[in-house]
């Protein structure tokens, strides 16, 4: 099946994995990249490496507007790479014309989860992982629930523009990856 996928995708593909924080973009993205023998890029990691700061430090020292500008610049830069799976931040599709860029440059994949599943995944994270996310650091469970609801309502219209929408409630990452792979040839 992998040979068929490569033939149907051609030799210059970009796959953008998007969705709300905690929905498995990095985990699924890495596994998808391995499955397709593509490079993997985590956009947040790229920004942090270039800035020499964590995402939390960038937000604290420079503000969200600065971070979103850097995010946009890095998205444009990574679009120059072929045969790559890119996990983008939860807000990436919602700023500038990022969603249109991703849809033009490659295949966008929205990993969809219910609000309750997102909350459970975030609550299951180690505290330091939660604190490293500036938008949710120091929020109570009720505040998190409200935040997820409000932000998902704003972001989902962007997420729903993805070329592939995958229910990410699968018990195993490999099942999600296979669902994605099975849908890619249908787009060509």
185 occurs within a structural domain: no
Query: If you average pLDDT over residues 70-99, what whole number do you get?
Result: 97
Position 2 scores a pLDDT of 32
182 occurs within a structural domain: no
Structure-model confidence comparison of residues 62 and 6, the more confident one: 62
Q: Which domain holds residue 118?
A: 11-173
Percent of the chain with pLDDT over 70: 92
Query: If you average pLDDT over residues 156-172, what whole number do you get?
Result: 94
Q: What residues does 110 pair with on adjacent strands? A: 18, 165
Please give the tally of structural domains in the chain.
1
36 φ/ψ angles, rounded to the nearest 5 degrees: -95, -5
Cα 147 to chain centroid distance, Å, stands at 18
The set of residues, in sequence order, having a beta carbon less than 8 Å from that of 39 and lying 6+ positions away, is 33, 81, 83, 84, 85
179 occurs within a structural domain: no
What is the CATH classification number for the domain harbouring 114? 3.40.50.300
Position 11 scores a pLDDT of 59
Q: Exposure string (b/e) for 164-179, b if CB count within 10 Å is 16 or more?
A: bbbebebeeeeebbbb
- State yes or no: pLDDT of 133 exceeds 90: no
- State yes or no: pLDDT of 5 exceeds 90: no
126 occurs within a structural domain: yes
Position 185 scores a pLDDT of 64
Distance CA 5, CA 7 (A): 5
The whole-chain average pLDDT of the chain stands at 91
Position 10 scores a pLDDT of 53
pLDDT band at 114 (very low <50, low <70, confident <90, very high): very high
181 occurs within a structural domain: no
pTM of the full structure:
0.90
Tell me the pLDDT tens digit for each residue of 86-107. 999 999 999 999 999 999 999 9
Q: What sign results for the dihedral spanned by CA atoms 105, 85, 68, 125?
A: positive
- State yes or no: pLDDT of 20 exceeds 80: yes
167 occurs within a structural domain: yes
- State yes or no: pLDDT of 188 exceeds 80: no
């Amino acid at each position: 099946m992998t040979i068929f996928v490569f033939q149907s995708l051609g030799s210059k593909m970009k796959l953008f994995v998007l969705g709300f924080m905690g929905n498995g973009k990095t985990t699924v993205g890495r596994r998808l990249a391995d499955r397709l023998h593509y490079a993997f890029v985590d956009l947040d990691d790229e920004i942090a490496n270039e800035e020499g700061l964590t995402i939390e430090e960038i937000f604290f020292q420079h503000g969200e507007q600065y971070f979103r500008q850097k995010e946009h610049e890095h998205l444009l830069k990574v679009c120059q790479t072929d045969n790559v799976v890119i996990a983008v931040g939860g807000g990436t599709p919602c700023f500038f014309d990022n969603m249109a860029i991703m849809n033009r440059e490659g295949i966008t994949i929205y990993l969809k989860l219910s609000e309750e599943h997102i909350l459970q995944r975030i609550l299951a994270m180690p505290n330091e992982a939660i604190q490293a996310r500036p938008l949710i650091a120091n929020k109570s469970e009720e505040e998190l629930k409200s935040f997820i609801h409000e932000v998902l309502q704003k972001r989902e219209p962007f997420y729903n523009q993805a070329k592939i929408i995958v229910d990410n409630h699968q018990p195993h990452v490999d099942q999600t990856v296979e669902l994605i792979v099975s849908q890619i040839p249908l787009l060509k």
